[in-house]
Structure formats: structure tokens, C-alpha cells
């Protein structure tokens, strides 16, 4: 299994409607056939020094294997998401784990 965890920091001037559209865009990624599970969230209200709550959205996508991850990266749905929404990103950090 591989977990693909993406943290998105959206620009400060992103409107509520744009954030809703962004979330729907993230949800569309679940349609990619190699995705076995997906979780989309926002920072939990946890106040601990070791917890980073500065991001806007978190997306964790699970794949059976690295080949599934590679299909996802080149998939037209993923490319369409990036083309439409990358203009909202201020910062993105990705953690991939096996």
C-alpha cells in the first residue's frame, strides 16, 4: 500500500465559494480507478505545539501499490484538477509513504 498525503495552503484571498469548489475538485479525485480510499479534511481543533493547523485542506489518498499512484498522477481527472485549482495554492507539501 502507498499513502499519498497532500497538504494545501490556499491563498489568503480565497473566497468561501472558491474553497467549496476546491473541495469538490478534491472529491472528484476519488473517481480515479486506482484510488482505494480517500480522506479530505481540514485542520482539527487541536492545540498542541507539535500539531500544524496552518494548512487549509488535507487530502490522503491510498493506493494498492506504486503503479496505482503513478496512474493517479497522470490521470486526466488529476490533471484537470491541477489545471483548474493550482492558481489557488499558496503552498503544497506532499508526503508519500509505503
Instruction: Give the residue carrying C-alpha cell 491510498.
Output: 62
Domain boundaries, the chain: 2-97
- Averaged pLDDT for residues 26-35: 98
Grid coordinates belonging to 74: 497522470
Q: Is residue 47 very low, low, confident or very high in pLDDT (cuts 50, 70, 90)?
A: very high
Q: What pTM does this model have? A: 0.93
Instruction: Tell me what the pLDDT averaged over the chain comes to.
Output: 97
What CATH class has 2-97? alpha beta
Three-class DSSP category at 44: coil
Count of C-beta atoms within a 10 Å radius of residue 53: 11
| Grid coordinates given for 18 | 472558491
Amino acid at each position: 500500500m502507498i499513502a499519498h498525503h497532500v497538504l494545501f495552503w490556499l491563498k489568503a484571498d480565497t473566497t468561501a465559494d472558491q474553497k467549496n469548489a476546491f473541495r469538490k475538485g478534491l472529491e472528484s479525485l476519488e473517481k480515479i480507478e486506482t484510488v482505494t480510499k480517500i480522506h479530505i479534511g481540514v485542520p482539527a481543533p487541536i492545540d498542541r505545539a507539535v500539531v500544524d493547523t496552518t494548512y487549509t485542506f488535507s487530502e490522503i489518498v491510498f493506493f494498492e501499490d506504486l503503479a496505482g499512484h503513478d496512474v493517479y498522477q497522470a490521470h486526466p481527472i488529476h490533471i484537470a484538477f491541477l489545471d483548474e485549482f493550482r492558481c489557488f495554492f499558496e503552498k503544497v507539501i506532499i508526503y508519500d509513504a509505503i
